Amino acid sequence: MRKLPGFEKSLRLLAIVLLFAGAAAAWPCVPSPQAADDLNSILAKMNANAATFKSAQADVEFETYDAVVEEKTLQKGRIYFRRTGSGVEAALDLTSPVPKQVIYKDQKVSIYDKNIDQVTEYDVGKYKQQAEAFLSLGFGARGDDLKRSYDVTLAGWETIEGVKTAKLALVPRDEKTRNTYNKIMIWLDPERDILLQQQFFEPSGNYRLTRYRNMKLNAKIPDDVFRLKTTGHTRIVRP
């Protein structure tokens, strides 16, 4: 399997797995002293919760906005994430409007389009460390790791479906990542370390908004979830 031509394409493929997205929001330049104290407390809780994190699964709904044509698309499905002895695995089962499976496993992104019975595979092994840190964002990530990879500020508190969430604004420190996603927002329930929303902005003005519902932490996920449900006639493509 050949390597992908660049870091930017790898991040975009991983974004498919997590269905990143969002709507425009305010980005504070200078946090207040109170906000800084709250942020330190949130990051400390993330450090503590990360030690016991094993897996997460949730219903997912996301919209993607294309700034060029000024159109939005909406998709729904279920997402799964778990830590293993060798790294992380993620799976996405899209149910509407087009059935698809997307799996990150063994340093590879596999996309199964059920309508045409075709699997497209991409090797992201060259970027394994960055890829798995990217995938872990909001799924068991340590607060210290977050600060290492991003400039982090607390953009405020927002209630989502009755849950008080910390809205964290992230700016990637790495220039290559910043060229792909220059702004990131996550809505986190710091008490339970549960992600309710994710928001990624592209320099082009495109965005992706993901809403997570019915989140379950550390429940056993069957191994079958991380396998493609192909047929005997499935075509495999490796660009």
d(CA 140, CA 138): 6
The domain defined by 7-237 carries CATH number 2.50.20.10:
yes
pLDDT per 10-residue tile (average), the chain, 239 residues: 46 51 32 68 88 89 90 92 86 91 89 94 77 66 85 93 92 85 88 83 90 91 95 94
* Domain ranges for the chain: 7-237
In contact, 220 and 235? CB cutoff 8 Å? no
Say what the pLDDT of residue 85 is: 82
Say what the pLDDT of residue 225 is: 95
In contact, 196 and 160? CB cutoff 8 Å? yes
Please, what sign has the CA dihedral across residues 12, 17, 18, 19?
positive
In what order do the strands lie in the sheet containing 235-237?
150-160, 163-172, 183-189, 194-201, 207-217, 55-66, 71-84, 87-96, 100-105, 108-113, 118-123, 235-237
Question: What's this model's pTM, rounded to 2 decimal places?
Answer: 0.79
